[in-house]
Structure 1
Amino acid sequence: MNKIMFAALIGASALAATPAAAQETTADKPFSGVYVGGSFGFDMQPNDRGESISFDRDLNGSFGDTISTATSPNAFSPGFCNGAATSNTAPAVGGRGCSNDRNDIAYYGRVGFDVQRGNIVVGAVGEFGKSNIKDSVSAFSTTPAFYTMSRELNWEASVRARAGFAADTTLFYGTAGVGYVSIDNSFTTGNTANTFSSNGNQKEWGLTAGGGIEQKIGKNFSIGMEYLFHRYEDTDYRVRASGGPTGGPFTRGNAAGTDFRRGFDYFRWHSIRGVAAFRF
């Protein structure tokens, strides 16, 4: 009888310990599993000091030509600024100059998964969202007139790897991967004598990389802070200036006109964001 009672006690103890052991195993891996979430933050652009607009006056695909007029060997001698023009007159000759590039908010949705082994966490995350930043460059001609090329972000999608170190319920991680964006290019000018056409929006591949910290709150929720750098090569946008009814300097090299392109190839920015996730 005593043997039977002893065996029953051992069995009951084992059953009681099973949920505790399972709970301990789950607690040992707080960052394993699939999650969905989002981010909200502020995006900032580096100062593209020295950026300019380049010209292809004979339409041979080679930029760097000088545009001349009947009275000036360089129609764009007033210069350039790394922002959107606010008047027809360049800052160097007394104009009001340029506004700064626009830094603004950004918001994204995300889905991902992580696998935790001890303190090491590896995984992947995909994101889709939008930033409201705007990047411009302006040229000023002797007319006087301004010529501003701008780009904004319609949307950005990215897939990144994640790897980090978990200290209890706090995760420190790095992340990097590829991105794909739709860029809304636009052109404005104070020149009313010529006609201008462009090839519209562009879609480009690039990279994103950064790091962050994530803190579990309860069993299924986490919040954190994240930094990301984004860089996309944006070299395909063109604006063509044609002569208009009276011709002009843009037709001196080729009767069809002159092509404009931005002198700086990259659309790039920094993100500081808060993140939140629900883990299944």
Structure 2
Amino acid sequence: MKKLLLAASTAALTFPAFAADVVMEEPPAPMVMEVPASTGWSGVYVGLQAGYGFGDDGQVQLSPFTNPGLIGAFTPAGAAAGSSFNANGDFDDGFVGGAHIGYDHQIGNIVIGGILDVSYTDLGDEQRAFSRSPAEYVIERELDLLATLRARLGYSFANDRFLAYATGGVAYGDVDFNYRQGALSPASTVSTSGGQDSDFGYTVGGGVEMRMTQNVSFGLEYLYTNLGDNDFNANLQGGPFGGVGGAVGSNPGGTNLTGSDDDFDFHTIQAKISYRF
């Protein structure tokens, strides 16, 4: 019995010392995961676009003949004295479409980038004038090729599925002029200048894109484009127009018909599909 009590007393005295030597490990602190900035729209992309272009009528203006001796002969019935023409103009709306390549960089929800596109167009305008001779004078201007180099600034939303953006930059147009005339005297000839221009201007607009898949996006884009002004000249000789062999000796240089415009501007709305690398 004494041995049992002695063993119990020894155990009681040594347990606190043993317990003091036990080290309790604290649980590790929770790891903080750093969420990277979204890069859903970043990268190079290529694609196609197609749509419709339209503009205002009467952009090309025909100036009166520079032949004072013929003004009366070319004044339409009922027109004011000194008038040479009864003129009207039309803008030829049409197809616009081509290809594009661009690059975007995303910082948070902000997307900045640049895009180059080249499009074939079926756009143009014409001015028609009618004289009492009678004759019809038509100057046509056609935009065959349109290229733009633009910056883009956009905002991504809905978990990077949508992108709304504004855009603007420089525009280049390959513009052809054509002149035609009806009811010319058989002895008359026409020479023209300014038949083709390479015009530079500007373009501004905006659009929206939607990610269809990780690599494919679809969008709609509106652009206003202004290619500046143009000048065109047609010189008519022979018959009633003067010049060599002409009936009007007071006009030895022939009759000049000029066309010009303040601005060749138009609007385009296009659907776009892009593949993003």
Instruction: Bin the TM-score by the shorter chain.
Output: 0.7 to 0.9
Task: Report the CA distance between 1:69 and its aligned residue.
Answer: 4.1
Task: Report the CA distance between 1:46 and its aligned residue.
Answer: 1.8
Corresponding position: 1:226 with 2:218: no
Task: Report the CA distance between 1:236 and its aligned residue.
Answer: 3.0
Task: Report the CA distance between 1:102 and its aligned residue.
Answer: 2.1
Could you tell me whether the CA contact under 8 Å between 1:250 and 1:257 is conserved in 2?
A: no
Q: Which residue of 1 aligns with 2:272?
A: 275
Q: Which residue of 1 aligns with 2:138?
A: 148
Find the partner of 2:42 among 29, 32, 38: 32
Q: Which residue of 2 aligns with 1:62?
A: none
Please give the per-residue CA displacement for 1:77-127, whole angstroms capped at 9, x wherever unaligned: 4x10013xxxxxxxxxxxxxxxxx321111121111011111111111001
Q: Which residue of 2 aligns with 1:189?
A: 181
Could you tell me whether the CA contact under 8 Å between 2:93 and 2:123 is conserved in 1?
A: yes
Q: Which residue of 2 aligns with 1:53?
A: 62
Q: 1: CA distance between counterparts of 2:118 and 2:89? A: 29
Could you tell me whether the CA contact under 8 Å between 1:176 and 1:208 is conserved in 2?
A: yes
Show the 5 A alignment for 1:57-206: 57=66, 68-69=71-72, 74=82, 76-77=84-85, 79-83=86-90, 101-167=91-157, 168-193=160-185, 194-199=188-193, 200-206=195-201
Between the two proteins, the alignment pairs up a number of residues equal to: 236
Provide structure 2 residue ranges, at least 5 long, that are not aligned to the other structure: 1-27, 76-80
Q: Secondary structure at the match of 1:236?
A: strand
Cα RMSD over matched residues?
3.0
Could you tell me whether the CA contact under 8 Å between 1:229 and 1:268 is conserved in 2?
A: yes
Could you tell me whether the CA contact under 8 Å between 1:177 and 1:207 is conserved in 2?
A: yes
Q: Which has the larger radius of gyration?
A: 2
Provide structure 1 residue ranges, at least 5 long, that are not aligned to the other structure: 1-9, 59-64, 84-100
Normalising to structure 2: TM-score of the pair?
A: 0.75
Task: Report the CA distance between 1:153 and its aligned residue.
Answer: 1.3
Q: Which amino acid aligns with 2:108?
A: G
Q: Which residue of 2 aligns with 1:95?
A: none
Q: 2: CA distance between counterparts of 1:250 and 1:207? A: 47
Q: Secondary structure at the match of 2:156?
A: strand
